[in-house]
Amino acid sequence: MARRALGPATLAVVQAVDAALTPADARLLVACSGGADSLALAAAARHVAERRGLPCAAVVVDHRLQDGSDAVAARAAHAVRGLGLPDVAVVAVTVGTRGGPEAAARDARHAALRSAAAGAPPATVLLGHTRDDQAESVLLGLARGSGPRSLAGMAVRTGGLLRPLLDLPRTTTEQACAELGLVPWSDPHNVDSRFARVRVRRQVLPVLEEALGPGVGAALARTARLARDDADLLDALAAEADPGTDTLDCAGLAVLPAALRSRVLRRWLAGRGAEDVGAEHVQGVDALVTAWHGQRGVDLRGGTVARREGRLLWQAVGRG
């Protein structure tokens, strides 16, 4: 029996998935919530995997943050199986509190996905983030004032995680579901204004579109791509400049460009065990290098940085 031709939106999602894969992607694992983005992604991944001869499975993460979340997860798994992916697992997780509800849920989800992807060879986990999600990430990073790395938004590929739909708008995944006869689940959290991302999506971006004209989301996503290229280069240079020791030479740091020096310092602090390093911490440590006048050290979570005989010294806080 001849296959039904793919609709234009479904074809766009299929092409995006196909273009994002490399020969190293030997197995695929689709993260599916039952929403439009992940359902369209699952359909496209099945199509691409079948054509390439790749194993393809899916996992639905139940965060257990809402009443009836187990039933929602079961419906999502049923919908994915209906797309022709019989290997679908539902994994329940416990969400902590560190970093706030959104970050904690993301950490729990990613841990579950990486565990599900383990094996030989490990599976590449496909995530359904779209261009709209990227634009929201850029605005949130801008609001935090956390620098180019935050403005770079989400990477297409991070370790074993792959986001093939970052160049497609959410309307494309929604239209793909309509073409495929799928009825996506609408997460109540996606309209809950307690979450910053929801406020950006429902209040900030519409105002920007109205004031500046259409295309703001696409422009923000393009900014993320450009910022990521710059940030990746600076991070690579910082890795080369970091000696990996518990002390740093202040004279050598002082001659580095500020953008590079701040990254060396942030990397060095993280490598010593400093936690939750913010811009103000890096600025304080940088002042020990560039504006030294005998000031005391800089306290961070996990330790203190002081200047001794022309070198920065990391002193860990005793644990016990």
- Residues 282 and 316: their CA atoms lie apart, in Å, by 17
**Is 70 labelled a binding residue?**
no
Q: Determine the 3-state secondary structure of 95 from DSSP.
A: coil
Other beta carbons within 10 angstroms of residue 119's beta carbon come to 11
- Residues 218 and 228: their CA atoms lie apart, in Å, by 15
**Is 35 labelled a binding residue?**
yes
The beta strand positions in the chain, using DSSP E, are 28-31, 56-62, 88-92, 124-126, 157-158, 161-162, 247-249, 298-300, 303-308, 311-316
Cα 220 versus chain centre, distance: 16
Phi and psi angles of residue 12, each rounded to the nearest 5 degrees, phi first: -65, -40
**Is 37 labelled a binding residue?**
yes
Can you read off the two tokens belonging to residue 93?
A: 């997780």
Which has the closest alpha carbon to 31: 20, 42, 43, 15? 42
Q: Are 85 and 38 in contact (CB under 8 A)?
A: no
- Strand-by-strand arrangement of the 157-158 sheet: 88-92, 56-62, 28-31, 124-126, 161-162, 157-158
**Is 33 labelled a binding residue?**
yes
- Residues 132 and 28: their CA atoms lie apart, in Å, by 24
Positions at the binding site: 33-38
Positions at the binding site for ATP: 33-38
